[in-house]
Structure 1
């Protein structure tokens, strides 16, 4: 691609993304509204969204194999055709059990499509334009989701027409990528999973990713039913959803700038604390009309930025050669959280009432806040104890002998009693094992705060909000 026209170079992929997200953005809302109008139990609506995320998780492995065997374009065309057929099957089949299976298949097909688009962009984008290209990719994705909501608002009675348009968009998204003149990207390489290792290394980040998945799955699956229960018609429900998604779009760039200047762990704690208060208010107060739109706009700003901040926080604390494995682990963690979130929220909604959607999200946010506080405090105490212990030790040069605890005992300049005490200090050994390599950026920056302001990482470390594409 030329360095002067990144948008024109990837125009086919961007147009494909737009059509694909229009279809996917409206399909989830359509299914939720359709079941709500039929007075179907909330547990079924939540199960539909859970099955979609289950399909995303399963599709991450299947997609690698399919793309490696038949190539990117053929894999995308096959997946889009299957997803289009599944969308039209809702016209012919009314059995909820079959719908659940269809949602799993749609999730798997969508994951394969996402992998084709993002791997293509990743490989053929120049380093100097990567941030620009993926920013435009994210804007296109959000605009597609908002366009899907606006399209659905034109059909207040729902019916068959929206499903026909959804199927048409899924079919038409094949055309730009099938006719593109760009060279095929190289086959995908499988990304290893190191779930337990990363949970020990970046516990705050993966906790935030899990909770963000639970919130996203619950919101996208059950918010249309919640809005319908408050007496909104189809047009008002789609406006409610569009405002929330638009808030997430508008918040990405400024929150990325903020996360480059303020420690990301602090931003995560702040978002979690405000979210718990905001969503509890939405659950308890009888908000309607403009007040409800303002509340859901604020929710979109806070909730839709949890995932990218947590992902950036995780990436700054791992080595470069571990980031592919970390990305796979983050996606899997988000998907698993999104599988369980709708099920738990829908069960509470069925037992107590629709307002329990935001009560559940409030509990998730409060749990995240308490977990982050505890992990952060533990890591600081462990780091402080390690510093105190290491101040009494003499650090020798490199060599095999240095790795042995007997090395200090052979140095005549070290007090023998101190060495023996440290060799027997089981608390110090256990504490050392608890501290991950990138324990927390707060610790380093607290020591520098009194002298000068230390900016964070460059803006390109704030990642694209990939999972927001996958949460509709």
Structure 2
């Protein structure tokens, strides 16, 4: 218990440094590409490459953790993140940047599986929800810090990479001070189909896909969207800060509401809020308020969906379910940016939020159908 007491805060500190690095890079990469006259479809390809890396990393994570343990794997992928970030400075073309973003995506996915699995395995049924809320809050705060610090980062790609290297070394330093041992699974790490097909977890898994589609598109396309509207780099960062900080503030009250009123009902309300917010953003009315509500709704979908899916499996299957959730989340993040970027190229940049509205409407329909079906079975 003593090991756990100090390991969790140190894990979160390490996560902050990792997330600051990722946050700054996720915003700066589309801006670099936009400033070098890349089209939206090319920016979408580079963005999707990052999520292909997430997909590969999600499938490799369990095997790597079992072979090298959690801390060694975490340290190694931080090193991989550094190499890939510095690699961006070697050339400015779609193919090389797609490759380096793929490598960064692999590193990120493995890191998330490690951190989330450490929390889910070491937490109890009584404190797991609080630990996940602390994790998500830390992750989003790190993202906000990254956006706020972006103005102080050098614009030169190589020097930018050297700053990232420093932050990632700090992340490695703090993870090495922790004490975490994840259980080894005898089953093949790629055998995630039983988790994905686990019927009680299906709506939680669909929620993970929806969150991946929208948040993946936000990170891949929203900076370029704001840039096309004529915003400078600092204004872009400020709007993204507002979006994410809204999600940070919403974590605790939304978690409380999910426990009190049910996860399905709350997710339905969140999707309806997201639809209204998208309508306001498309029409450019009450944009600040709409951005706040959109961020609060979208950035709380994944933790609720994750908790919903994890509560349906036994403790020994939590790591595998966590891996499956990241896998389906990544599939959403992989497909959506490329498809939405093409729609924006063909039909106009306003189709970013039109796409978000369509995705939210689809999930709202699924949730409403599920709730109606549950009520009918209760009356039967």
TM-score (norm 1): 0.72
- Matched length: 376
Alignment check: 8 A CA contact 1:25 1:148 kept = yes
CA distances 1:390-448 after superposition (whole Å, capped 9, x unpaired): xxxxxxxxxxxxxxxxxxxxxxxxxxxxxxxxxxxxxxxxxxxxxxxxxxxxxxxxxxx
SS at match of 2:145: helix
Q: How far apart in 1 are the matches of 2:271 and 2:211?
A: 10
SS at match of 1:232: coil
Alignment check: 8 A CA contact 1:30 1:158 kept = no
Alignment check: 8 A CA contact 1:21 1:145 kept = yes
Residue 276 of structure 2 is matched in structure 1 by: 277
CA distances 1:120-177 after superposition (whole Å, capped 9, x unpaired): 4445557765455444333332221111111212359565443331232123322222
CA distances 1:230-289 after superposition (whole Å, capped 9, x unpaired): 111111111111111111111010001111221322222222122112212212x235xx
After the TM superposition, which residues 11-410 of structure 1 pair with which residues of structure 2 at under 5 Å, given as runs?
11-124=9-122, 130-154=128-152, 160-178=158-176, 180=177, 182-189=178-185, 190=189, 192-194=192-194, 197-198=197-198, 200-283=199-282, 285-286=283-284, 291-316=286-311, 323-381=318-376, 384=379, 387=380
TM-score (norm 2): 0.88
Gaps of 5+ in 2: none
Q: How far apart in 2 are the matches of 1:168 and 1:156?
A: 13
Alignment check: 8 A CA contact 2:129 2:307 kept = no
Alignment check: 8 A CA contact 1:27 1:163 kept = no
Say which structure is richer in helix.
2
SS at match of 2:349: coil
> Displacement, 1:349?
0.9
Alignment check: 8 A CA contact 1:279 1:358 kept = yes
Q: How far apart in 2 are the matches of 1:79 and 1:349?
A: 34
SS at match of 1:92: coil
SS at match of 1:58: helix
Q: How far apart in 2 are the matches of 1:48 and 1:353?
A: 19
CA distances 1:341-397 after superposition (whole Å, capped 9, x unpaired): 11111111111222111111011111222232334434544665xx3xxxxxxxxxx
26-35 vs 202-211, greater mean Cα deviation: 202-211
Residue 416 of structure 1 is matched in structure 2 by: none
134-143 vs 86-95, greater mean Cα deviation: 134-143
CA distances 1:279-326 after superposition (whole Å, capped 9, x unpaired): 12212x235xxx433321111101111222233334455566765554
Relative contact order higher in (CA < 8 Å, ≥ 6 apart): 2
Q: Quick check: which has more Rg, 1 or 2? A: 1
Structure 1 pair 27–196 and aligned structure 2 pair: CA distance change class (3 A): closer
Alignment check: 8 A CA contact 2:7 2:180 kept = no
> Displacement, 1:59?
1.0
Gaps of 5+ in 1: 388-472
Q: How far apart in 1 are the matches of 2:232 and 2:169?
A: 29
Alignment check: 8 A CA contact 1:152 1:162 kept = no
Q: How far apart in 2 are the matches of 1:26 and 1:103?
A: 14
